[in-house]
Amino acid sequence: MAAEPAAVPRGLLLDWGGVFTTDVFASFAHFCRNEGLDQTLVADTFRHDPEGRRALYGLETGELTEVEFEERIATLLGLRPDRAPGLIDRIFGGMKAEIAMFDAVRAAKRAGIRTGLLSNSWGVDRYDRSHFPELFDATVISGEEGVRKPDRAIYELALERMALPAGEIVFVDDLAGNLKPAAELGMQTIHHTSGGETVTRLEKLFGRPLR
């Protein structure tokens, strides 16, 4: 007996940094080169240094202010105190907009696909929200909610705001670890590595052009 074809999803949920922008880790390396640091130091601090991870989690959940975060990270990176102000902007200064993803999500929304943002924030004022009405039907930003990916609770909140069953949603993130809770809840997932590849996969899943 032939298997029934998978239902076409009705919702598209996406991360921001590294999906709507170029690679976050490339920006980290760019920052390190500009500061005269080993180019993996920022990434290693966030991945492997317990203090760095705590500072990152605190910023993403809103427990730390940007100033507190910048001061802590500057110390961990071995930078002078006068290099702390503006640190977040400099860390992300190498990122650019991923135009293919903006265009694809606008096309999806115009086609009646319900769209949403699920993002770990680096300060809640660091998004260009002028784009939000044409991009998203629902938004979940960690610093506004006090919870961050990959905590299951933030995915459940996103599902509530998307107002669709998990099985009808595709979730896109550039970090593989953030995909697991979404998959456990029943969402289809895409590990984003490039705009072109992700758009091609989305077009196949939704059965329509998104360029």
CB atoms < 10 A from the CB of 73, how many? 23
What the chain holds in terms of domains, given with CATH numbers, is 11-22+96-206 (3.40.50.1000), 24-91 (no CATH)
The model's confidence at residue 101, banded by pLDDT at 50, 70 and 90, is very high
The residue type of 44 is D
Structure pTM? 0.95
175, pLDDT greater than 60: yes
The model's confidence at residue 5, banded by pLDDT at 50, 70 and 90, is very low
3, pLDDT greater than 50: no
pLDDT at 208: 96
Rg, C-alpha atoms of the chain: 18
Alpha carbon distance 71, 82 (integer Å): 9
pLDDT at 6: 61
pLDDT at 2: 42
> Mean of the per-residue pLDDT values for the chain?
95
Q: pLDDT > 90: what percent of the chain?
A: 94
Query: pLDDT tens, 25-47?
Result: 999 999 999 999 999 999 999 99
The model's confidence at residue 124, banded by pLDDT at 50, 70 and 90, is confident
- Residue of higher predicted confidence among 72 and 124: 72
The three-point CA angle 94-95-101 to 5° equals: 160
Pick left, alpha or beta for residue 171 (phi over 0 → left; psi -120 to 50 → alpha; otherwise beta).
Answer: beta
The model's confidence at residue 123, banded by pLDDT at 50, 70 and 90, is confident
Quickly tell me which residue has 């086609």 as its tokens. Answer: 111
Average pLDDT on 64-75 reads 97
Sheet holding 114-119, edge to edge: 138-141, 114-119, 11-14, 169-173, 188-191
Alpha carbon distance 87, 67 (integer Å): 9
Report DSSP state, residue 99. Answer: H
- Give which of 153, 144, 186, 195 is closest to 18, Cα–Cα: 195
